[in-house]
Structure 1
Amino acid sequence: MEEFKPITTQDEFDAVIGERLKRERETLAKKYGDYDDLKNKVADYEKQIGQMTRAAEDSAKKYAGYEKDLADLQAKVKGYETASVKTRIAHETGLPYELAERLRGEEEADIRKDAEALAKMVGGQTRKAAPPLRDTEPAGDGKKAAMRAFSAQLAGEE
């Protein structure tokens, strides 16, 4: 070990402190040498975060009403499907189409039950078949009707 030597002048003190400061600076340079690089990376990341945040906010504004619109459209589709089922069941149970809207229930089985109950209450009235657009039955006795039909064909009326 070295023997202790007291510092008596300012130059000696500066030399001893200078070495100690030099060693401390080297230690800090090793420890925090990449500080500038890290600082630049943090600045870049903050910039990217800002851009992504703005993009997310813009997307949120753009698509804000889509969930409501989707819910409205799904409700409409469900209404159309229910109306279609009610019309079909009214036809199958012999109810007039005017009563199809009065049928109740969410599921097909419930609507069918209601339709059957309503059909019983109506008294078994069934829809009349629509008359044909053109009378295809021959009028009068068979021989005269056949002659009329034949002459109409010859004349090109049919």
Structure 2
Amino acid sequence: MSFKIIETQDQLDKIIADRLERQKTQIEEKYKGFDEVKKANEDLQVEIAGLKEKIDTLNSEKQEHINKVEGLNAKIKNHELSDLKLKIALENNIPYTIAQRLQGETEEEIEADARNMSEYVSNNGIFKAPPLKNLEPAGVNEDTSYKKLLLELEGE
């Protein structure tokens, strides 16, 4: 291509317009399909937002299920502990009605408590009461105390 001297403004404008057209063509060629990619990206962003929302919903549902399972496991443990207490109470001749009063979390602890409690329970299921302390002053016999009580009652 040989160089031509530019003599008029129209020639300069035409050369600049041609150059701008070539530049525009190159840019269009370089970024061809950009609008499709941009649209696809926007679509993906919307889909990602929807998936994040779904993940949050699933995580909250998961936590609800975990809490429910933990609650049910606690109930199961309480029932198993109650059954264990009943079994140990019956083995130690402790009445069914007071079996749940046994203390402990493990079988060994409950058995130890049952042995202690069975010392206070007779074979017929009645508690053995410890002897009462004598509250009368020294030197006073029972007959005198009863007579005094009766006299006080009659005086009322």
TM-score, normalized by the shorter chain, greater than 0.5:
yes
**Alignment correspondent of 1:116:** 115
CA distance in 1, matches of 2:94, 2:5: 119
Quick one: distance in 1 between partners of 2:30 and 2:85? Answer: 79
- Which residue identity does 1:70 align to in structure 2? V
Residue in structure 1 matched with residue 47 of structure 2 by the alignment: 48
CA distance in 2: counterparts of 1:67 and 1:55, whole angstroms: 18
**Correspondences of 1:8-157 after superposition (within 5 Å):** 8-56=7-55, 59=58, 65-120=64-119, 122=120, 125-126=122-123
Q: Quote the offset at 1:55 in angstroms.
A: 3.9
CA RMSD of aligned residues (A): 3.0
8 Å CA contact 1:95–1:119 kept in 2: the answer is yes
Amino acid at match of 1:46: Q
Q: How much has 1:31 moved relative to structure 2?
A: 2.2
TM-superposed CA distance for 1:58, in Å, is 5.3
- Contact in 2 for aligned 1:89/1:115 (Cα 8 Å): yes
Give the structure 2 partner of residue 151 of structure 1. none
Q: Distance in 1 between matches of 2:17 and 2:41?
A: 34
| Contact 1:104 1:114 (C-alpha < 8 Å) held by counterparts | yes
- Alpha-carbon deviations, 1:99-155, whole Å to 9, x = none? 2111111122211121122223x15x2357xxxxxxxxxxxxxxxxxxxxxxxxxxx
Q: Is the 8 A contact 1:95 1:127 kept in 2?
A: no
Identify the residue that residue 128 of structure 2 maps to in structure 1. none
**Per-residue CA shift, 1:44-63, capped at 9, x if unaligned?**
21332344345445556766
User: What are the superposed Cα offsets for residues 59-117 of structure 1, whole Å, 9 maximum, x if unpaired?
Assistant: 56766754443333222222111101111111122211122111111122211121122
The number of equivalent residue pairs is: 125
Contact 1:96 1:126 in 2 (8 A): no
Contact 1:86 1:100 in 2 (8 A): yes
Letter in 2 for 1:33: K
Using a 3 Å threshold, how does the CA distance of structure 1 residues 42 and 55 change in structure 2: closer, same or farther?
Answer: same
Deviates more, 1:32-41 or 1:72-81: 72-81
